[in-house]
Amino acid sequence: MKILVVDDEQDVRLLFEQRFRREIRNGELFFYFSFSGEEALTFLRDHPSEVILILSDINMPGISGLELLGEIRRNNPLAPPVVMMITAYGDEENHRRALSLGANDFLTKPLDFSALKEKLKGIYEG
């Protein structure tokens, strides 16, 4: 399963690669990384229908996670990827907005990786 992680923090890449080292080694999961909303849109345009799941931070300079979500939903009406939004703890308003824009799930920072793993497994096996 190919997953695109969008976050303006570069170290997210290292973190995900270590957290999911077994899954990556087994070939279960494959991660791409974009460090801004703009970069993510370019990537998605260059690799259409390749990514099944998108994990995106909301709070980013430039195109925010919510705008990115809106774009994704507009551009991919036929094969909609699963989109999970990530933002800071206790942000009710963004939660509501993300869901109304068509987010499939909502994750709060700091990320609970074991819970994320369970969710990914559910999507992967289901």
Partner 1 sequence: MNLLSFLILFFVFRYLKRSARPAIPNWDQLLLWANIITGLLFLIEANKGTGVLGLLWMAILTGYAYRTPELEFFRPTLVPLLPYLFLSVLEKLARWFVPKFYDEYELYFEIATFAAFIWVAATWMNLRKQEKALAVEREKRQQEEETNKVIAAQKNELEYLVEERTAELRAQKEELETTLEHLRATQDQLIQSEKMASLGELTAGIAHEIQNPLNFVNNFSEVSVELIDELREEETKDKPDTELISDLLEDLRQNLEKISHHGKRADSIVKGMLQHSRVSTGQKEETDLNALADEYLRLAYHGLRAKDKTFNAKLVTEFDPALGKANVIAQDLGRVLLNLFTNAFYAVTEKKKALGGAFEPQVSVQTRRQADGIEIRVRDNGTGMPEAVRQKIFQPFFTTKPTGQGTGLGLSLSYDIVTKGHGGTLDVRTKDGEYTEFIIHIPAS
Task: Kindly write down the DSSP assignment for every residue of 34-98, as one continuous string.
Answer: ESSHHHHHHHHHHSTTT-SEEEEES--SSS-HHHHHHHHHHH-SSSPPEEEEEE-TT-HHHHHHH
Residue 113: strand, helix, or coil: helix
77: CB partners within 8 A, 6+ apart: none
Give the binding-site size for partner 1 (rule: CB under 8 A). Answer: 24
Length of the chain: 126
CB of 64 to partner 1, least distance (A): 5
* 15 lines the binding site for partner 1 (CB under 8 A): yes
Choose between 53 and 58: whose C-beta lies nearer to partner 1.
58
Q: Is residue 14 close enough to count as binding partner 1 by CB under 8 A?
A: yes
**Residue 64: count of CB within 10 angstroms of its CB:** 18
Segment interacting with partner 1, rule: CB under 8 A, options 12-20, 42-50, 77-85, 99-107: 12-20
- 56 lies in the binding site for partner 1 (CB under 8 A): no
Residue 46, interface with partner 1 (CB under 8 A)?
no
Residue 109 is a binding residue for partner 1 (CB under 8 A): yes
Contacting positions for partner 1 (CB under 8 A): 9, 11, 14-15, 18-19, 58-59, 61-64, 66-67, 88-89, 91, 93-94, 97, 109-111, 113
